[in-house]
Amino acid sequence: MNEKQVHKFVNRYLEATECSILEKSPVHFTVKLSPLADRELTNRPYYWSFVDRVNAEPETMTFLFVTDKNKYDAAEEAKKIEVVPLPLAASDTAQEEAANAALGRSLGFVHGNLAAPARVPREDLYFGARKLDMLFDAAKAKGSFVYLFQEPDHRSSNPFSSTPYTAWLGVNMRVEFACDRKREEIHSFGVSLATGQCAELFYDRLLTHKLTPRLPANIHITKNGLSFNKALSIVEQTLERKLRSYDYSWAESASARLEEELARISGYYEPLIKNALEENKAAIEEQFAQRQSEIRWQYEPRVTASAINCGIFHLSGID
């Protein structure tokens, strides 16, 4: 994940959580967090428990998020060079000292940082950074389910016309083929809640539409004929049929390697157990059983499927 991709992701997160972006450039954001983002990113449970308890107006934190450290630091150094003050003439120096003395007599001691802006914490966001991982976790937790509508390509000139929309359950599934090696596949399915039709590559279909969380004007939603549980069972059955058609010679090879490894450690431990003293035999047998368990976990072939995220998508037409 490069700097541009990180910047784009951070921008989308800040907009989605309704943060106030005070300043931005292609390499940084100065942002006042929304209450939602502050709860997710600042790790201040005691403060937020106090706010919730007394129903107080929250004061959220302001951050400087830098998405390209090298370019941002170079730009800041260039700014410092541009604003280096010129030496004051002698008359100007004397005039400034007189003004400072008069101010001191009138107001007493004035701290030099009185008008300085509050310190804004800086976070460098790069792939692997702790704060970026927190953004990923927050986006994953909040973005595991969405509810969106297709925006019409054009609006009808007749204000009384209405376009039918069908609700689809879209599910992205991760399939993992594991033994001492591992391979993953992502499958995207969409099930029409009106007709039960199941479409593969559903995510690719969604990319061709512009989606919005708001209900567009002049549309109506068709009645659902399926429950969410029934639609999910259709996805599971479709994926299972697909997986049954795969070549599983890799699993046979993995099972053969598993038997070889079990035979190898048996050849090592069984003589030890046979010749061990009675007081040491139980410990060796326990170690042998643990090694067998570890070898089975490493080599035993298995296929697992899990849902990554899902959503309800209202698309035009009756499918």
> If pLDDT is split at 50, 70 and 90, which confidence band does 96 have?
low
pLDDT the model gives residue 144: 80
pLDDT the model gives residue 109: 42
- Cα–chain center distance at 71: 25
- State pLDDT tens for residues 110-168: 444 444 446 889 999 998 899 999 998 888 877 788 899 999 877 666 667 788 999 99
Which of 186, 42, 214, 196 shows the shortest CA–CA distance to 123? 42
Say if strands 182-192 and 198-200 run parallel, antiparallel, or are unpaired. antiparallel
> If pLDDT is split at 50, 70 and 90, which confidence band does 314 have?
very high
- State pLDDT tens for residues 169-218: 999 999 999 999 999 999 999 999 999 999 999 999 999 999 998 888 88
Structure tokens at 242: 């697909």
Residue 90 has pLDDT above 70, yes or no: no
- Read off the pLDDT of each residue in 97-119 and give the average, rounded to a whole number: 51
pLDDT the model gives residue 91: 54
pLDDT the model gives residue 258: 94
- Read off the pLDDT of each residue in 61-72 and give the average, rounded to a whole number: 92
pLDDT the model gives residue 106: 46
- Read off the pLDDT of each residue in 54-72 and give the average, rounded to a whole number: 92
- Read off the pLDDT of each residue in 39-53 and give the average, rounded to a whole number: 91
pLDDT the model gives residue 107: 43
- State pLDDT tens for residues 271-307: 998 888 888 889 999 999 999 999 999 999 999 999 9
Residue 4 has pLDDT above 80, yes or no: yes
Long-range contacts of 155-159 (CB under 8 A, 24+ apart): 155/217, 155/218, 156/218, 159/218
- Residues of the chain by 3-state class (helix, strand, coil), percent to 5: 45, 25, 30
Residue 78 has pLDDT above 80, yes or no: yes
- Please state the pTM of the whole predicted model: 0.62
DSSP 258-295: HHHHHHHHHHHHHHHHHHS-HHHHHHHHHHHHHHHHHH
Per-residue burial over 71-96, b = 16 or more CB atoms within 10 Å of its CB, e = otherwise: ebeeeeeeeeeeeeeeeeeeeeeeee
R_g over Cα of the chain: 32
pLDDT the model gives residue 79: 81
Contacts of 99 (CB under 8 A, 6+ apart): none
- State pLDDT tens for residues 226-251: 999 999 999 999 999 999 999 999 99
**Considering the chain, what is the average pLDDT of its residues?**
86
- Read off the pLDDT of each residue in 87-108 and give the average, rounded to a whole number: 56
pLDDT the model gives residue 111: 44
Measured CA to CA, the distance from residue 273 to residue 287 in angstroms comes to: 10
